Amino acid sequence: MKESKNGRPVIRFIGAGIYGVTAASFCARAGYDVIIHERRSFIAAETTQFGPAYRIHKGDHFLDQHTNPEEFSRSFQSFFREYGEAAAVGYPHTYGIAREGSKTTPQQCLNFLDRHEIRYERTNSRFLNPDNVALMIKLEESFINPEILPEVMSRKLGYPNINLRLNSHFKKEDLADGIDTFIATYSMMNELLEDDEADDYLFKIQENPIGPVDSSLIGNSVSVFDGDFPSLDPYGLTNKHRLAHVKKAVLAKNVGKMPIIPAHLRAVVNQGPFTPAQLRRLGIESRFEEMRDAAAEYIPLAAKMSHEYSVFSIKSLPSDERDLSRKSTVRRVSDNLGILHGGKYQSAVLAAMEVVRLANERSGLKVDPEELVGTETRSRRWSGVSIPTMTPEAAPPIDERYDTAKIRLDDLDPDRSFERWFK
């Protein structure tokens, strides 16, 4: 393994989303000299901040037998130790199973929850339309606050042995220097790999509208499985929700090595939020009304949603559409090259530990990655926002941290400014 002048082994990451940043931070803590290349001018610039529904699953995903509860529940503790401050914990999530078109029956769903000891309540939720929803259950789950996550991520990079290179679009030929490298570029993974190293993925380009719905829904997440799969998820601690609809939201999809982005969408995909007026100016027809009306058949309040923004993202999934496991992949493709593909937020810390293990095999360092969880010590700014330092000694025990992150619904400020994300 290459070493820097001070004798430390050098490791490099491409992509400063949650996967690249977390793994880089763990390697820095383990004693590597770390370089990160990010093509954008800030971190968490693509999927991590603007793609997801932000749900942190306790063990379920689709509430059925196809998902990957083991990875999710294993990842939960370690994720909260690193990212608890960016989570809004213990909010009500209402799930329904559609009467028609669902691959999961109500009984399969209940069996799944019982088998994995996921606590739930059966409910007659007024958020769901009983004519179209067969089973309604309520769980306490958490979600990521996208307004805070980038700040917490930026602190992970506050080590003197991390060299973050922003505005640095890494190219395949740059790999020739032989530095041990992990690619964490999510949908762009294969751009840097040879054909025989590259997996196929299923890519979906999708639109997600954001806007206020109704005050009674603030802080609530509502999803219907799986059929058409409409959902409304809180957009952080704002009064807004993010609308999804598995069928209607998908603007294009392909299976292959690279996503095919239709030409008219290139200006908006992974570029953050756009207002309806901006979309009109760009000649892009939003799916908002179609999605809202389709979602309202299952979640009647959806009809009240206003359209303030839409985000357009690329989902990068296993190429077999039936594979709903949302597993993360960490593996070497050759001697000095590995991939780090993110399935779900909460697996980012487990994946980082696996990267340390793989790197140690090359470098001979002996640090146990389990011991690195929750040991972040320094603070430095990348986002221009002042971030307090939390030393391991000063960090409250894990259960109290859950409480710190818990913000009561009454504390939500419906007028909270959302604008700083949309300059």
Ligand X SMILES: Cc1cc2nc3c(=O)[nH]c(=O)nc-3n(C[C@H](O)[C@H](O)[C@H](O)COP(=O)(O)OP(=O)(O)OC[C@H]3O[C@@H](n4cnc5c(N)ncnc54)[C@H](O)[C@@H]3O)c2cc1C
# of chain residues touching ligand X (CB under 6 A)? 35
CB of 232 to ligand X, least distance (A): 12
Contact pattern for ligand X over residues 148 through 177, marking x by CB under 6 A: ---------------------xx-------
Q: Give the list of residues 6+ apart from residue 420 with CB closer than 8 angstroms, or none.
A: none
Contact pattern for ligand X over residues 373 through 392, marking x by CB under 6 A: --------------------
Question: Per CB under 6 A, does 264 bind ligand X?
Answer: no
Would you tell me the crossing angle of helices 69-83 and 149-156 to the nearest 10 degrees?
80
DSSP line for 32-63: -EEEEE-SSSSSS-SHHHHS---EE-SS-SSS
Question: Which ranges of 262-409 does DSSP label H, i.e. alpha helix?
Answer: 276-281, 288-296, 348-363, 398-405
Report whether 13 contacts 182 (CB < 8 A).
yes
Question: Per CB under 6 A, does 236 bind ligand X?
Answer: no
CB of 262 to ligand X, least distance (A): 17
CB of 410 to ligand X, least distance (A): 25
Nearer to ligand X, 270 or 363 (CB): 270
Question: Per CB under 6 A, does 315 bind ligand X?
Answer: yes
The Cα–Cα gap between 92 and 84 comes to: 18
CB of 49 to ligand X, least distance (A): 7
CB of 326 to ligand X, least distance (A): 7
Q: Which helix (H) or strand (E) holds 74?
A: helix 69-83
Nearer to ligand X, 167 or 391 (CB): 167
Question: Per CB under 6 A, does 186 bind ligand X?
Answer: yes
CB atoms within 10 A of CB 414: 10
CB of 268 to ligand X, least distance (A): 14
Nearer to ligand X, 39 or 253 (CB): 39
Tell me which of 346, 355, 376, 382 binds ligand X, using CB under 6 A.
346
Report whether 342 contacts 182 (CB < 8 A).
no
Question: Per CB under 6 A, does 354 bind ligand X?
Answer: no
Question: Per CB under 6 A, does 351 bind ligand X?
Answer: no
DSSP line for 353-376: HHHHHHHHHHH-----GGGGTT--
Tell me which of 20, 227, 318, 369 binds ligand X, using CB under 6 A.
20
Of 422, 372, 364, give the one whose Cα is nearest residue 1.
364
The Cα–Cα gap between 54 and 141 comes to: 11
CB of 254 to ligand X, least distance (A): 15
Of 98, 105, 92, give the one whose Cα is nearest residue 128.
98
* Of residues 33-62, those binding ligand X (CB under 6 A): 37-40, 45-48, 51-55
**Which stretches of the chain bind ligand X, using CB under 6 A?**
14-20, 37-40, 45-48, 51-55, 169-170, 184-186, 188, 191, 206, 313, 315, 342-346
